Structure formats: C-alpha cells, structure tokens
Amino acid sequence: MPQAFLLERERERDHQRERESMEAKEGKGVAKHVFIAKFKDGTSAAQIEQLIKDMANLVNLIPPMKSLHWGKDVSPWNKNEGYTHVFECNFESMEGIAEYVAHPAHLEYAKSLLPCVDKCIVFDYNLSTTQPAAIMI
C-alpha cells in the first residue's frame, strides 16, 4: 500500500511538472520582476520608507501586479556589492510584467524612485520549481 501511494504521488508530481512546463512555454503561471537597488547617499530613511509605500500601492493601481515582497540586505557575508534593498513583484505572466512596466502609474512612480537610486539590477523570470524525486521504500 505505501508503494502505491508513492507511485500516485510521483504521477501527480509528473503531471504538475508538465503543467508548469506548458505554462512557462505559454508565458503563463508565475512570473517575477525583481528590482535590486542601492540608494544614493543622502537618501533619508523616511524617503526610502515613502518609496516603499508608494511601490506597494502599485499593487492597487496596476491589475497584472499580484503582490510585492521586499526586504533589506541582512547578510553577514558582505557580498551585496553595495545593494541594500530588493523588491520582488509577482505576476501571472511575462505579458503582465510588460503591462506593468508600461503602465502610467509605474512610469510616474519611476520618476520619484530613480533619482534616489545610485545603481540597480532588474531581473525578470518565469518561476520554475524543481520537485524532489520520489523515494521508493
């Protein structure tokens, strides 16, 4: 009985992988837009806090944008090359990212953000998941 259960789980995983692969090929599923920033010296904590609030509000203004996660570097390894903040926006497709980038609310926000940024990295990708192989007992 446990082996049958494991085989069924493996079939479900295979089906999920196929679905994710098809969605990725079609540009559907989960797409991420990542913005990594180093703010200019002299940008106050209050300014950065307001920029974060304004970016979070874009979720309410731009329909393809599903959520925003952000954080400040806390790594003890000092490998951040000066970058201090990361912002991860979630979309259902790469088309959603394109719509977001061209949206007037995003363009207006960029006018307030970019003058405060010393350097940045922008990275867009489709989310891929690697499932562990089934363990046969």
Catalytic: 103? yes
Whether the model clears a pTM of 0.75, i.e. scores above it, the answer is no
d(CA 12, CA 6) in angstroms, rounded, equals: 10
Taking alpha carbons only, the member of 69, 56, 60, 47 closest to residue 113 is 47
Catalytic: 100? yes
> Among residues 103, 106, 109, 125, which one is catalytic?
103
> Among residues 100, 106, 109, 125, which one is catalytic?
100
Pairing, β 28-39 against β 117-126? antiparallel
pLDDT-based confidence at 122, cuts 50/70/90? very high
d(CA 7, CA 76) in angstroms, rounded, equals: 43
Residues 17-70: tens digit of each pLDDT: 565 555 555 545 689 999 999 999 999 999 999 999 999 999 999 999 999 999
